[in-house]
Every structure is written in C-alpha cells, then in structure tokens.
C-alpha cells in the first residue's frame, strides 16, 4: 500500500514537472500570482487601480501588459520610465505572463 | 458609538474568548468554518494596516482586530519633505476608516504584553484579546543609552525625529528658530536601522530649506559607517545642488560619534574631536518594538528572526512579524518592504486558517529619495527565496543611473510622490 502510494506520488510529481516544462518553470497558481502581484500595488494601486501619475494595470489586456513588462527589460526601455527597467529584470517570462493575467482579470 | 454597541461587542468578545481555549487546542479555524479564525494585528503602520486589510479582503469571515494607539497614524517617510518645506506634517497622517469599513475591528490602545502559550494579547487598561494568529508590526524602539548621553531626556534637546510625531515637530521648530549661518549636525548610526537612505534624504531636504531660507548655514553628517544607501547619487546631487553646504564624514575620517551632550548640542567622536551644532539631530541605535520582546520573538540582536516563506517567527509558532522589527536582510527596513511583507504574511495566514499551504512568496522594494524638489533618485529590488534564505534576485534592481538627464531626475521626484499616494491608499485607503 505504502509503496503504491509512493509510486503514485513520484509519478504525479514527474507529471507536474513535464506539464510545466521542467524545474525552472514551476506552475503558478492564482494564489501565487496574487502574492507575486502584491508589491505592484504599492505604486500602481490596490488591484492595479492607480490613484495618480503611475499608470493603472487593472483590466488592461494581458498581452499588452506582458509585452510592456518584457520591453522594460530591454537595453532601451520605453521613454518616460525610470525604475521598471530595474524591477522587470527580477521576473521570469512565466511570472510576467502570470502577473499580466492577474491584472487583466481585475475590473 | 453607543454604550449599547460597546457592551454588545464586549459580550461577543467574551463569548469568543471563552470558546477559544477549547477550540485552539484542536483545529481553531476549521472549527469555526470556512477558513475563519481570529487574527490580531499589533501596529497600524505600513506593515500592520496592510496585513489587516489584505487578510480581511481575502476572507471576510476571519475576525481581524487591529491594535494601534494612535487614532491618526503619521508615517516617518515623507516627513523629510516637511523639513524641506515641501509638505505639511498633516500630509503624512492616515486614519483607519477604510479598515473599519472593511470590517476590521480597530482598537486604539497600546499592546502591552503577549502570552504566546495562551495566545493572548493584553492591552494597556487590561483588556485581553485571544488570537489564532498574531501579526506584530511594531516598528522600532530607540535603544536609549546605547549611544552615551543619548537618553529620552536628551531627545528633548537633540531630537531623533525617527518616529513621526512630537519629535518631528520639535526638529522642525528648532530648524525654524535657527539663525542663518548656523550648523546643522546629523549623527548617522551603524547598520541596520530604519530607512537606510533616510538620514541622507533628510540632510538633502534641510539643505533645500537652508538654500532657500538660510543660505549661510552649514550641514555636517557624522557617520558611524563607511558607506551608505545610494551614496554616489547623494554625493553627486549634494555637490550639484548645494555646492559645499553639505559635508559627510565617514567612519574612517573620524565620523563615528561616541558621546552626545544634548543640552550643549555638542557631540564627541571616537578620536575625541568635539563638534558643536546650532541644531543637533541624532539618529540613534534601534531595535524591534518592545512588544517583540514580550512575545518572545526577538533575538539577541534586538531584531526578530523570521521564516522567509511566511514571515512567521522562527522562535514562536503562530506569530508573524513584519516590517522594520524583522531581521530580513537583504531587504531594507522600508515602508514599501513592510507593506510587501504584510501581504506575504496575510496570504500565509489566510491559507493556514483554511488548511492550505502558503502561496509562493515574493517581494519587491522601491525607495525614492528627494535631493531637491525636482531631483529624485531611487533604489529598487526584487526578492525571492533561494536555498531557504531571503535572496535579492541577481541581475535585477539597483539604483538610478549615475548619469541621468534633469528630466529623469524630475520624473523620479514626481514618481516618489505618486508612490507615497499609492501606498497610503493601499495601506490605509487614504485619498491624496
């Protein structure tokens, strides 16, 4: 019984790794994405609903948000931006996709 | 509020307290259904207000009590701009109306003691709150006497102004009364301390005040360190904006102050040099707020060690500690970080009460500093956990470029104000 459970456990762990494309890309749950998005609110507003000069994130298309985050990482970040070049480099493309989805769903 | 209401609340709390002893022996949260439970948050600053809000938002069934002595909380961040004449003191004040509207019980009292076995918090006045999970966000206490001559009485003559309130008013008043041509001395501490760029932003803002109001005055920073946050950017900025007005003396140039005579406004350095000030501002050695000692979560260092994944104390179960009180290197003791840690702790608590594992933790920090009204600089970082420890993600973060256009500096000055407005809204619901 124990060994059967163990086998199943190992099997599902392997399946998870395969599904997420290997050890470097661990799947992010909605709860993980919400925590990942936590610090964004400090400038972009709670749930990405900005109350000032810093652009809002809430309800914008996921593809737009993800493309912007990836552009920030580049050697020539978009004009008028300051810290996002430094912050965006702290996130993998997979995390960026999860963040983009998280904020796109906030209405 | 009517007395009726209060007594009804008391009865409910007493009932809750009576049942608690039994419930907490087994599975407190599940016993009350839907992942609920009782959370007490001590401290209504960036960390505590955020944690209370995010717990309540995630699961309104959780009973959240926030304990904070002040009806209106004043942040230390941005009081430097008040010294520069750019903001009123009131602009740093925040109330707890949004938290109340969300259903958080806000109790304006001092938390005096924690019994980590009975899981109770005792308030000044004797009221006892029972918790399933406790969040401590107590900020800093001053280590009175750790710097010779600098005790509570001395702070009435040479303010620290490192906790916003009467100390801020005292320093402002002394600066206003200072004649043109006087010397302002700031004594800067060793690491770690609240707000690493804070002392240097403070002298920048006082530099701005002097430049515009008292141009013959001088500023001297006596530092117990060899290096400081955003050093290159500050030194460049001071030279560019204030010329020779601001002088910084590092440890190796006899910058370490070992004795303070607050009444004479005189300090003595390691090698016996005496400096006399017209206004003396001592940023003294610090430790976690005293409630951390009472709860048994602080270490010999005076700070609180935590488990990175959840910010639960590594010494006592079911007590999460966030903000300046924690030993969370490489994260700085900043308002931004306290808020970020508050969200991680909140998510972990909500998950634990529902019997789920904590979500994957992640944090970031951004600290803006103002050198002049149109001259802002910043440092930013992203953090995760690597090898079981808090880790600054390699290749990310860093400070503003050393070479930047005036437009870039102006943008960072503007973004700094926008950040403050955004985080004040996120933590307290304050509308700018």
Q: Do B37 and B134 share a structural domain?
A: yes
B248-267 confidence digits (pLDDT tens): 999 999 999 999 999 999 99
B341 contacts B327 by C-beta, under 8 angstroms: no
Q: What residues pair up with B223 in beta bridges, in sequence order?
A: B188
Q: How far is CA B337 from CA B13, B45, B152, B324, in A?
A: 33, 12, 28, 9
Determine the topology of domain A23-104 in CATH: Cytochrome Bc1 Complex; Chain D, domain 2 (1.10.760)
Q: Where are the domains of chain A?
A: 23-104
Q: What pLDDT was estimated at residue B134?
A: 99
Q: Do B331 and B313 share a structural domain?
A: yes
B202-259 confidence digits (pLDDT tens): 999 999 999 999 999 999 999 999 999 999 999 999 999 999 999 999 999 999 999 9
Look-up: residue for tokens 């440890």?
Answer: B251
| B402 in a structural domain | no
| B32 in a structural domain | yes
Indicate the Cα dihedral angle B69, B143, B122, B320, nearest 10°: 90
**A43 in B contact zone (CB under 8 Å):** yes
CA A98/CA A66 separation, integer angstroms: 9
pLDDT confidence band for A26 (50 / 70 / 90): low
B279 contacts B185 by C-beta, under 8 angstroms: yes
Beta-carbon separation of A53 and B418 below 8 A: yes
**Nearest in space to B43 (alpha carbons), one of B63, B67, B65:** B67
**A41 in B contact zone (CB under 8 Å):** yes
Q: What pLDDT was estimated at residue B129?
A: 98
Q: Do B127 and B209 share a structural domain?
A: no
CATH code of B219's domain: 3.50.50.60
Q: What pLDDT was estimated at residue B32?
A: 52
Query: Mean pLDDT across the stretch B370-391?
Result: 98
Q: A72 to chain B, minimum CA–CA distance in Å? A: 12
Sheet holding B266-269, edge to edge: B257-261, B266-269, B274-276
Beta-carbon separation of A87 and B364 below 8 A: yes
Helices (H) then strands (E): counts for chain A = 6, 0
Sheet holding B128-130, edge to edge: B111-115, B120-123, B128-130
Q: Do B103 and B227 share a structural domain?
A: no
CA B56/CA B63 separation, integer angstroms: 8
Q: Which of A20, A45, A86 to mutate to test the interface with B (most CBs of B within 10 A)?
A: A86
Closest CA in chain A for residue B395: A89
CA B222/CA B255 separation, integer angstroms: 5
- Domain end marker among B336, B360, B384: B360
- Domain end marker among B259, B284, B309: B284
**A63 in B contact zone (CB under 8 Å):** no
Query: Mean pLDDT across the stretch B94-115?
Result: 98
The answer on pLDDT for B125 being more than 80 is yes
- Name residues whose C-beta falls within 8 Å of residue B166's C-beta, 6 or more positions apart in sequence: none
CA B398/CA A87 separation, integer angstroms: 9
**Nearest in space to B279 (alpha carbons), one of B403, B344, B185:** B185
**B110 in A contact zone (CB under 8 Å):** no
Q: B176 to chain A, minimum CA–CA distance in Å? A: 32
Q: Do B11 and B121 share a structural domain?
A: yes
The answer on pLDDT for B35 being more than 70 is yes
Q: How far is CA B292 from CA B138, B288, B325, B389, in A?
A: 7, 6, 8, 22
Q: Do B308 and B226 share a structural domain?
A: no
- Domain end marker among B265, B284, B303: B284
Tell me which residue in A35, A41, A90 faces B359 most closely, judged by beta carbons. Answer: A35
B283 contacts B160 by C-beta, under 8 angstroms: yes
Print the SS3 string covering chain B. CCHHHHHHHHHHHHHHHHHHHHHCCCCHHHHHCCCCCEEEEECCCHHHHHHHHHHHHHCCCCEEEEECCCCCEECCCCHHHHHCCCCCCHHHEECCHHHHHHCCEEECCCEEEEECCCCEEEECCCCEEECCEEEECCCEEECCCCCECCCCCHHHCCCCCCCCCHHHHHHHHHHHHCCCCCEEEEEECCCCCCCCCHHHHHHHHHHHHHHHHCCCCEEEEEECCCCCCCHHHHHHHHHHHHCCCEEEECHHHCCCEEEEECCCCEEEECCCCEEECCEEEECCCEEECCHHHHCCCCCCCCCEEEECCCCEECCCCCEEECHHHEECCCCCCCHHHHHHHHHHHHHHHHHHHCCCCCCCCCEEEEEEEEEECCEEEEEEEEEEEECCEEEECCCCCEECCCCCCHHHHHHHHHHHHHHHHHHHHHHHCCCC
Count how many domains chain B has.
2
Q: Do B168 and B81 share a structural domain?
A: no
Q: Do B110 and B39 share a structural domain?
A: yes
Radius of gyration of chain A (CA): 18
Q: What pLDDT was estimated at residue B432?
A: 81
pLDDT confidence band for B158 (50 / 70 / 90): very high
Q: What pLDDT was estimated at residue B62?
A: 98
Q: Do B272 and B159 share a structural domain?
A: yes
Chain B environment of A44 (Cβ under 8 Å) = 422
What proportions of chain A, in percent to the nearest 5, are helix, strand and coil? 60, 0, 40
CA A21/CA A26 separation, integer angstroms: 8
The answer on pLDDT for A79 being more than 90 is no
Q: Do B166 and B115 share a structural domain?
A: no
Range of the domain at B209: 147-284
The answer on pLDDT for B28 being more than 90 is no
Candidate from A67-71, B18-22, B73-77, B367-371 with smallest mean pLDDT: B18-22
B422 contacts A45 by C-beta, under 8 angstroms: yes
Q: Sort strands B246-249 and B218-223 into parallel, antiparallel or unpaired.
A: parallel
Q: Do B291 and B277 share a structural domain?
A: no
Q: Which of B233, B396, B417 to mutate to test the interface with A (most CBs of A within 10 A)?
A: B396
Q: Do B271 and B208 share a structural domain?
A: yes
């Amino acid at each position: 019984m124990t060994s059967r459970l163990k086998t199943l456990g190992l099997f599902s762990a392997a399946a998870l790794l395969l599904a997420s494309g290997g050890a470097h890309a661990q799947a992010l749950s909605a709860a993980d994405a919400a925590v990942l998005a936590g610090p964004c609110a400090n400038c972009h507003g709670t749930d990405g609903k900005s109350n000032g000069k810093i652009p809002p994130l809430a309800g914008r298309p996921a593809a737009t948000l993800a493309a912007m985050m990836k552009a920030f990482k580049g050697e020539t970040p978009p004009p008028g931006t300051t810290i996002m070049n430094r912050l965006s480099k702290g996130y993998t493309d997979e995390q960026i996709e999860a963040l983009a989805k998280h904020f796109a769903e906030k209405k | 509020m009517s007395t009726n209401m209060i007594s009804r609340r008391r009865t409910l709390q007493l009932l809750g307290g009576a049942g608690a002893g039994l419930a907490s022996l087994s599975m407190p949260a599940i016993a009350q259904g839907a992942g609920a439970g009782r959370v007490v948050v001590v401290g209504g600053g960036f960390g505590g207000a955020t944690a209370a809000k995010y717990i309540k938002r995630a699961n309104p069934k959780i009973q959240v009590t926030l304990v904070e002595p002040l009806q209106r909380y004043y942040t230390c961040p941005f009081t430097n701009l008040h010294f520069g004449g750019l903001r009123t003191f009131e602009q740093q004040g925040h109330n707890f109306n949004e938290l109340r509207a969300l259903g958080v019980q806000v109790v304006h009292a001092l938390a005096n003691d924690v019994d980590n076995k009975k899981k109770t918090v005792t308030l000044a006045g004797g009221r006892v709150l029972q918790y399933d999970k406790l969040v401590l966000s107590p900020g800093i206490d001053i280590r009175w006497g750790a710097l010779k001559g600098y005790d509570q009485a001395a702070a009435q003559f040479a303010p620290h102004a490192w906790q916003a309130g009467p100390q801020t008013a005292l320093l402002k008043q002394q600066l206003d009364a200072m004649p043109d041509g006087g010397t302002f001395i700031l004594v800067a501490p060793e690491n770690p301390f609240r707000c690493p760029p804070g002392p240097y932003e403070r002298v920048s803002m006082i530099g701005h005040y002097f430049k515009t109001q008292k141009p013959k005055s001088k500023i001297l920073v006596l530092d117990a360190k060899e290096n400081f946050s955003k050093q290159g950017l500050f030194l460049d900025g001071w030279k560019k904006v204030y010329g020779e007005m601001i002088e910084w003396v590092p440890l190796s140039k006899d910058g370490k102050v070992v004795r303070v005579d607050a009444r004479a406004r005189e300090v003595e350095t390691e090698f016996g040099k005496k400096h006399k000030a017209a206004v003396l501002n001592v940023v003294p050695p610090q430790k976690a707020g005293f409630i951390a000692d009472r709860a048994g979560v602080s270490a010999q260092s005076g700070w609180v060690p935590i488990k990175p994944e959840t910010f639960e104390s590594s010494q006592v179960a079911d007590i999460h500690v966030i903000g300046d009180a924690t030993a969370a290197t490489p994260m700085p003791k900043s308002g931004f970080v306290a808020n970020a840690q508050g969200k991680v702790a909140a998510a972990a608590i909500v998950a634990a009460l529902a019997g789920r594992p904590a979500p994957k933790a992640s944090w970031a920090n951004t600290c803006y500093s103002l050198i002049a009204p149109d001259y802002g600089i910043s440092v930013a970082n992203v953090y995760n956990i690597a090898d079981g420890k808090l880790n600054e993600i390699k290749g990310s973060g860093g400070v503003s470029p050393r070479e930047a256009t005036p437009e870039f500096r102006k943008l960072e000055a503007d973004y700094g104000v926008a950040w403050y407005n955004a985080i004040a809204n996120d933590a307290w619901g304050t509308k700018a």
